[in-house]
Structure 1
Amino acid sequence: MDVRTGLFYLFSLVLLFAAFRVITARNPVYAALFLVLTFFQAAGIWMLLKAEFLAISLVLVYVGAVMVLFLFVVMMLDIDVANLRAGFWKHFPLAASVGALIALEMAAVLMGGFRPAEEPRAFPGVATAAQAGLQFSNTKELGRLLYSEYIYPLEIAAVILVVAIVAAIALTLRTRKDTKHIDASEQVRVRARDRLQIVKVPPSRPTLAPDPATAAAAASGENKA
């Protein structure tokens, strides 16, 4: 077994362990950190497969941006883990069935994809890297394939992502009854007489009933005098 094969098995074992800990960790912060470790191992496997662009994209986009933001959100929110795990065993049979079905589908797809490496397919009017005597660039070939043969699926995915972003913003900015919304235009058009009203009240003082003890003491004092 050469070094490349040993690194592949090492990255794969760590990836499987980290992915298993993502769904079994009781602390959401630990689960997010294990997911970061999973992404790093997947990036290492892609580097072994000579897919440097995908590996760097995974590290920069998911680990460097998405997971950091996710960690901040998890740390800022007070997540009730006990409440989230209340119905775990109730929904476990359905979740296990769906997971097994997805695993079988992935196995069927992957088993059919393990074939000897072939030379990149040439596009009409474009010579392959081997024919041109140049070094092969998987990033260039990936971009050429995405924006030529898979341009319509790429555009559909972009539209779906835009719709998801707009929907998330609309759900976040919906009107809530527990917030005090202030309209800036109403503040600009405000007038003093609309906010302050002076009411003239005639001075008056209510007549208090005399205290019997005080009245008796005053009357006795006058009698002595």
Structure 2
Amino acid sequence: MEFKTVVFYVLAAVMVFAALRVITARNPVHAALFLVLAFFNAGGIWLILQAEFLAIMLVMVYVGAVMVLFLFVVMMLDINVDRLREGFWGYLPVGAVVGAVMLAEMVLVLSGPYFGLDNMPEPPMAGAGYSNTRALGRILYTDYVYPFELASLVLLVAMIAAVALTLRKRKGTKYVNPSDQIAVKRADRVEVLAMSAEKE
């Protein structure tokens, strides 16, 4: 067995363990940290597959930005974990059925003629001027341009929906109209009072 295969199996095993701990950990902070571990192992698998750009983007975007945001939100909110886990075991049969179906689909796809490990040729070595970022961009914006634009529209709709759902007017909030501040005149703000001097 080659060293690359051993590294792949180690990274895959750690990633599966971390993914299982994400959904079984009782502490939300520990679950987020296990998700960070899963992302790091996924980045290592991308490096083995010679996709350095995807590995760096996965670590920088998800671990460096999204997971830090998750950790701040989880640590700042007062989450009642016991209340969240009240109906956890009630959904276990449905989750097990869905997981079994997904596992069967993955086994059927990976054991097919296109993804079989026996039929998979060794990837060709890249030349001196090869850039996988350029190749990824060329494929993404030529062959898969319509799915890419559709995914961007879905993300845009999700972002607008998140803003619309969280935007609510509160009764105790003080609001200042900037146009009223700009249109104000000196006479409206300054008032000179004529007062007589005090006598002893």
Does TM, normalized by the shorter one, top 0.5? yes
Q: CA shift at 1:168, angstroms?
A: 0.4
1:50 is aligned to 50
1:116 corresponds to which letter in structure 2?
M
Cα distance per residue 1:56-88 (max 9 Å; x no partner): 110001000000100000000111111111011
Q: CA shift at 1:24, angstroms?
A: 1.1
Q: CA shift at 1:17, angstroms?
A: 1.3
| Identical positions, percent | 58
Q: 1:62 to 1:185 in 2, by over 3 A?
A: closer
Q: CA shift at 1:91, angstroms?
A: 1.7
Question: What RMSD, in angstroms, separates the aligned Cα atoms of the two structures?
Answer: 2.5
Which TM-score applies when normalising by structure 1? 0.71
1:18 is aligned to 18
1:9-158 aligned at under 5 Å gives the runs 9-112=9-112, 113-114=115-116, 115-117=119-121, 135-158=129-152
SS at match of 1:182: coil
Q: Which runs of 5+ in 2 are unaligned?
A: 185-200
Q: CA shift at 1:138, angstroms?
A: 2.1
CA–CA distance in structure 1, aligned partners of residues 23 and 41 of structure 2? 17
CA–CA distance in structure 2, aligned partners of residues 89 and 15 of structure 1? 24
- Pick aligned residue for 1:160 from 148, 154, 157: 154
CA–CA distance in structure 1, aligned partners of residues 51 and 75 of structure 2? 33
Larger Cα Rg: Structure 1 or Structure 2? 1
1:181 is aligned to 173
Which TM-score applies when normalising by structure 2? 0.80
State the number of aligned residues.
178
SS at match of 2:172: coil
CA–CA distance in structure 2, aligned partners of residues 72 and 159 of structure 1? 28
Q: 1:13 to 1:118 in 2, by over 3 A?
A: closer
